[in-house]
Structure 1
Amino acid sequence: MSLKIYDWPTGPFPARVRIALAEKGLLEQVQFERINLWKGEHKTAEFKAKLSYSGTVPVLELEDGTIIAEVNAIITFLDNLDDDQSLTGRTPAQKGIILNMTRRAELEVQEVISTYFHNATPGLGPDVEIYQNKEWGLYQLAKGLRGLRHFDELLQKQPYVAGDEFSMADIALVGGMLFAAMIDVEVPSDLTALFAWYKRVQERPSVKQQIDRGFLDGSKL
């Protein structure tokens, strides 16, 4: 099976799919095509018409031309290529909880940090950031910091975001932590459970590989 993924190699959202690929042992089966975020290649009419209406990466293209956009949809596809749905849940209850916590990590952390980046900082530059609202961006940053505190409290009670096992929900929160590091968002030092979890998941080869790609340098977004 041959898979093609359109992304930017150090984008925080593409990082989540690359972590999933590594967890599933599928990296060697993927052809990556770079979409330059700094040049706004993901916002062109051609890209939106062919690959992603919302103008976002990553996007997965199958051998028959089928297009699957959005991170969670791609990871769900990858996790169902074998009989071990370790990332998205093996039972109906696990599936529901993992999806619930994945969306919470997105809505309360990664997506709001993204909104802050695109509105209250130079973002991807004037050619891409056509409209910015700094006040809204700062409000979203405050929301993101509250979200991180929520996950710290959660991780005081359980080892991983959705329970006892590493899952797609952890990958989503990793995405938020990577994004925060890239754009120098300071995570409060008293969130000790969150930091302990992050240190533990960084020991996974799939996560360490993404950090080693340069995620601590925001200029490499």
Structure 2
Amino acid sequence: MKIYDTEGFPNPLRVRIALAEKNATHKVDFIPVDVMGGEHRSDAFRIKNPDATVPLLELDDGTCIAQCNAITEYIDGIFDGPSLTGTTPKERARIAMMNLRAENGLMNAVGAYFHHATPGLGPDLETWQCAEWGNKQKEFASATMAYLDSVLADNDFLAGDSFSVADITAFAGLGFADFAKVEIPEALTHLQAWRAKVAARPSIAR
């Protein structure tokens, strides 16, 4: 198995955490992609992933799987260890719901702000921007942080009592928020405590 990614970017981080949680990092070859140089938009890369995004999983038989949720779903199913996506229909539905809320409301919203309302990755890569949209998404990200804080007031993790892909997505989203200078209010004490707890997990701390 190969993972094409750019180390330090938020979405590749989600996959790397999932692999570490399953103790499977050593079972994957990481292939660096020069995003700043536009390699992800090259014809050769688009053959593997028309989305022109990282990360990308390539299996031994040549099958290519893009999109973080699809990649982590495969990782969770193929490797041993506690499930990150749930084992019962109810668990899977709740985790999927919270993962999408964290992805759309935090990860993607911060990304939209970064790419549209700031210089982002620079003029060579940010070929179209709409600052009004980006700033609106920044507001959405802040509202999502408050929502997640309210969820964590009554739950150990975002989808209940167990760590899941929803927590991975939200944790990476908060890291992206730091980078994009989207403030995480100190008043969100439940979110802050959860973040510290997640950061101490071996899959992340090491």
Residue 154 of structure 1 is matched in structure 2 by 151
Matched, 1:167 2:134: no
Give structure 1 stretches of 5+ with no counterpart: 210-221
Task: Please tell me whether the aligned partners of residues 107 and 169 of structure 2 are also in contact (alpha carbons under 8 angstroms).
Answer: yes
Task: Please tell me whether the aligned partners of residues 105 and 140 of structure 2 are also in contact (alpha carbons under 8 angstroms).
Answer: yes
Matched, 1:9 2:20: no
In the TM superposition, residue 199 of structure 1 has moved relative to its aligned partner by: 0.5
Residue 136 of structure 1 is matched in structure 2 by 133
Residue 41 of structure 2 is matched in structure 1 by 43
CA separation in 1, counterparts of 2:163 and 2:89? Answer: 17
Residue 188 of structure 2 is matched in structure 1 by 191
- Report the AA paired with residue 180 of structure 2: I
The one-character-per-residue Cα deviations of 1:24-54 (angstroms, maximum 9, x if unpaired) are 0111111111111212221223322x22222
In the TM superposition, 1:48-197 aligns within 5 A as 48=46, 50-82=47-79, 84=81, 86-197=83-194
CA separation in 2, counterparts of 1:91 and 1:34? Answer: 36
Moved more, 28-37 or 146-155: 28-37
The structure-2 alpha-carbon separation of the partners of 1:54 and 1:37, relative to structure 1 and needing over 3 Å to count, comes to same
- Measured on the aligned residues, the alpha-carbon RMSD in Å equals 1.2
CA separation in 1, counterparts of 2:43 and 2:172? Answer: 27
Aligned residues: 206
Give structure 2 stretches of 5+ with no counterpart: none
- Report the AA paired with residue 86 of structure 2: G
CA separation in 2, counterparts of 1:86 and 1:41? Answer: 34
CA separation in 1, counterparts of 2:136 and 2:199? Answer: 29
TM-score, normalization by structure 1: 0.90
Secondary structure, counterpart of 1:5 in structure 2: strand
In the TM superposition, residue 200 of structure 1 has moved relative to its aligned partner by: 0.5
Secondary structure, counterpart of 1:80 in structure 2: helix
CA separation in 1, counterparts of 2:50 and 2:141? Answer: 26
- Report the AA paired with residue 169 of structure 1: A
CA separation in 1, counterparts of 2:182 and 2:112? Answer: 13
Matched, 1:205 2:188: no
Task: Please tell me whether the aligned partners of residues 37 and 124 of structure 1 are also in contact (alpha carbons under 8 angstroms).
Answer: no
The one-character-per-residue Cα deviations of 1:157-195 (angstroms, maximum 9, x if unpaired) are 101000000001100101111101122221111000000
The one-character-per-residue Cα deviations of 1:70-122 (angstroms, maximum 9, x if unpaired) are 10111111111145551010111111111111011001110010000100111
CA separation in 2, counterparts of 1:54 and 1:180? Answer: 23
- Report the AA paired with residue 133 of structure 1: C
The structure-2 alpha-carbon separation of the partners of 1:43 and 1:136, relative to structure 1 and needing over 3 Å to count, comes to same
Secondary structure, counterpart of 2:156 in structure 1: coil
TM-score, normalization by structure 2: 0.96
CA separation in 2, counterparts of 1:82 and 1:58? Answer: 18
